[in-house]
Every structure is written in structure tokens, then in C-alpha cells.
Amino acid sequence: MITINENYLKLQASYLFSDIAKRVASFQENNPDKDVIKLGIGDVTKGLTPASIKAFHEAVDEMAEDTTFRGYGPEQGYDFLREAIAVNDFQSRGAQIAADEIFVSDGAKCDSGNIQEIFSQDIKIAIPDPVYPVYLDTNVMAGRTGLFEEGRYEGLVYLNSTKDNNFVPALPSEKVDLIYLCFPNNPTGSTISKEELKTWVDYAKKNKALILFDAAYEAFIQDESLPKSIFEIEGAREVAIEFRSFSKSAGFTGTRCAYTVVPKECVAYDKDGNTHSLHALWNRRHCTKFNGVSYPVQKAAAAIYTAEGKAQTKALIDYYMKNADAVCKTMDELGYSYVGGKNSPYIWVDGKIDSWEFFDMLLNKAGVVCTPGAGFGKCGNGYIRISAFNSHEKVAEAMERLKAALR
């Protein structure tokens, strides 16, 4: 008899963004004339940059000729991309990351979900609340939690991110082994200073713990004093793994390209206390389960590091940040308090009522889709997340509708 992984039965009925998509589809079916504006899932709307598109086309042409055709590439990514990443994203900011510490992949969602496979079952995990649901769900699937009771899984240490701590959680009061952090934060849009991040690195070193640092939104940082990478913090090479993505920074949500940085010093322990290289373990996992991102996509990603590519991706970020500004201004005008929107494409608004009620009200009264904060955890209840990913025109229209609905 074929039996199931019963851990899946502990999961909430469906993945947050699938749930929202279903509700929106049903609303559209019942209101075919309503023009719905989507500021929910963080999906980009602008085309790829001309630099990426040119490189993409050229690489496709190379694939058409026997002499320049490429078959399987290196699982970890082509050197031309890994080197461009190491130099531009890390070394230029004083973070000593080498090209061979970078693993190119098809998404930070997949990497941040898959990484838990290389750790043991009985580790103590600290997870922020609210949180990007992938970190949580993948550990539930793997059997590292108990049941879902009163809005939380048993067996996890939740790190509350609330107004009281400016949405930057405090260090856990009990000893943990694995810590998930995401800054600029999804969903709250909050940021962390170098000094605050250093306390986490020190904690990890002291407790032989590991930090999984999701920096998928670093490109939106406007304040130069903020860290873009955990590897800008002294000592982080021994205790952190970082996830990055081209999805939001260069419009690759549909094209798929991301990377994970695993420094060579980073270790974990076996039951006898012997150290093992996480770089070697992740490499083993990556080579076994992944066959590399396609050559044209890696060429398109590498093009963002050229002079034109850099200018064009900056323009993309500036475009979305102008939307974030428009959302912040509207919230100021309406008297709603919020965080984010300054160094992040997300604005986390205190809606003062149940999140799903607020979501339904906005959809029904304004035809605007947001993401209910409760979908990201217990501490998210009462909040909604508004995304800056849409055209200027649609965001302006959505803000007018919000003003009419919320005044």
C-alpha cells in the first residue's frame, strides 16, 4: 500500500498566494466588468532590460549553431555569471565572497525551501512571525514541527516582529540551531542595521547556530548605511548562507534565475560534534537534484552587471520605488500607519481590522488586491501588505480607489 508523508496533512489548506489567486479568480468570475488591480503577490510587471534581452537573443542564436551550442552546463552555474556576481554584488561592497561559493539556481523560493534538507530532523528552528511562508511550510513538510494549533506550529521558536520592536525581532530567549532572517523583509518591508545584524551573527557563533539570510529584496535598499548582504558583517562567513534573486531586482520572475551563497568556512556538526562543510553538502545536493539554469537565462542575468545593465536595472528599481512612494503618501493621507516602502517594494499597513476582512473589503469596494497580513503568521493579523509592483498608472488608479473606499 502506498502511504503518504503525513506531515503534509499538517499544512494549511493551500499555499497563501494560490489561495489569494483563487479568491480573485472567483471575484472576477462574479464581476466580469470590474477591472481588478493587483498589488498582491510581488510579481514584477515591467519587461526585462534591453541589456538582458540583447544577451538573451544572442545566446539563443548561439544555441542554434552546432559550433556554439551548449548542452548540460555546470550545475553550479557558468563561471561568467558566478564571477560577475562575486565581484559586483559582494567584493565591491567589501564582502569577501568568491565565485565558487555561489550556486546559481532557478529561484530563491526553491533554494530557501530546499536548503533544510541538509540539516538534521531534530534541530531547533527560529522563524520570524510574520514570515515568507516557504520557510515554514518546507520545515512542516520535512516533519520538523508538530501540529498547527492556535495559529502556530508546535515545536518552532517564533520570532515576533511587531510595531513594538520596529519589525526587527529580538534574539531568541532559548537556544536555537537554525535561524531564518529576511531583510529588507518580506512581508513587512522593514530593514535591519549593520549593528543589529551583527548581534545575530554573534549569537550564531556563540551557539554554533546557522543563519539563513534571505536578501531577495536588497536591490530596493536606498539607504546606503544598511547592509545589502549578511557577508558585510564580520564573522558571518562561518555562520550564514545567503539567498539572492534576479526576480525582483531585474524582472526575472518569469525568466527564473537566482543564487545561493555558501561560504567555504560555513560548517554544521554531526552527532559526535565533528564539523562538516555546508558548501560541500549543498554542492552534493545541488549536483544530484539540479541540472543548472539554461545558458540563455544565465547570459541574460550576467548582462545586468554590464554598465548599461546596471543603469537599466537601477531605472527598474526606481520605477517601482516611485510606486512605493505613491502608496506611502496615500497611507499618510488616509491616516493609516505603516512600515516599509522606503527601502523595500512592500508597504505593511496596519489596517486595524482582521486582515482577511480588510482584503475582502478592498477587493469588493475598490477592486484592488492586496495580501492579508494574517497569511504570513499570527503577528500579521490586522495588517495588509501592499506591493509596489505594477505600472504607475495602475498604482495611481488603485490609490484613488483606496481613498474612495477607505475615507
Closest residue to ligand MLT, Cβ-based?
42
Nearer to ligand MLT, 188 or 313 (CB): 188
SS3 (DSSP) at 130: coil
Q: Looking at beta carbons only, is 156 or 388 nearer to ligand MLT?
A: 388
Kindly tell me which of 132 and 295 has the beta carbon lying closer to ligand MLT: 132
3-class DSSP assignment, residue 307: helix
Which own/partner pairs from 113-118 qualify as long-range (CB within 8 Å, at least 24 positions apart)? 113/137, 113/138, 114/138, 114/285, 114/289, 115/212, 115/241, 115/260, 115/282, 116/142, 116/144, 116/178, 117/142, 117/285, 118/268, 118/278, 118/281, 118/282, 118/285
In the block, cell 565565485 appears at 99
Nearer to ligand MLT, 186 or 298 (CB): 186
Cβ neighbours of 144 (radius 10 Å)? 21
At 383, give phi and psi (nearest 5°). Answer: -110, 160
Could you tell me the strand order of the sheet in which 240-245 lies? 102-105, 258-261, 240-245, 210-214, 178-182, 125-129, 157-160
**How many angstroms separate the CA atoms of 179 and 165, rounded?**
18
Q: How far is the CB of 188 from ligand MLT (least distance, A)?
A: 11
| Grid cell at residue 102 | 555561489
Do 93 and 232 contact (CB within 8 A), yes or no? yes
3-state secondary structure of 365: helix
- What does the DSSP assignment read for 38-91? E-SS----SPPPHHHHHHHHHHHHHHHSTTT---S--TT--HHHHHHHIIIIIG
Taking the complex as a whole, how short is the minimal distance between the CB of residue 218 and ligand MLT, in angstroms? 14
Q: How far is the CB of 253 from ligand MLT (least distance, A)?
A: 7
The DSSP call for residue 232 is: G
CB of 44 to ligand MLT, least distance (A): 9
Shortest Cβ distance from residue 360 to ligand MLT (Å)? Answer: 19
CB of 1 to ligand MLT, least distance (A): 35
Chain residues in the site for ligand MLT (CB under 6 A): 41-43, 109, 132, 186
User: For residue 300, what is its C-alpha cell?
Assistant: 541574460
Minimum distance from residue 209 beta carbon to ligand MLT (Å): 25
Q: Which is nearer to ligand MLT, 42 or 380 (CB)?
A: 42
Residue with smaller CB distance to ligand MLT, 86 or 190? 190
Question: Judged by CB, which is closer to ligand MLT: 113, or 382?
Answer: 113
**Nearest distance in Å: CB 246, ligand MLT:** 12
Cα 374–Cα 377–Cα 383 angle in degrees, nearest 5: 35
Contacts of 265 (CB under 8 A, 6+ apart): 237, 238
Q: Which is nearer to ligand MLT, 221 or 258 (CB)?
A: 258
User: Smallest distance from the beta carbon of 107 to ligand MLT, in angstroms?
Assistant: 8
* Residue nearer to ligand MLT on the CB measure, 239 or 316: 316
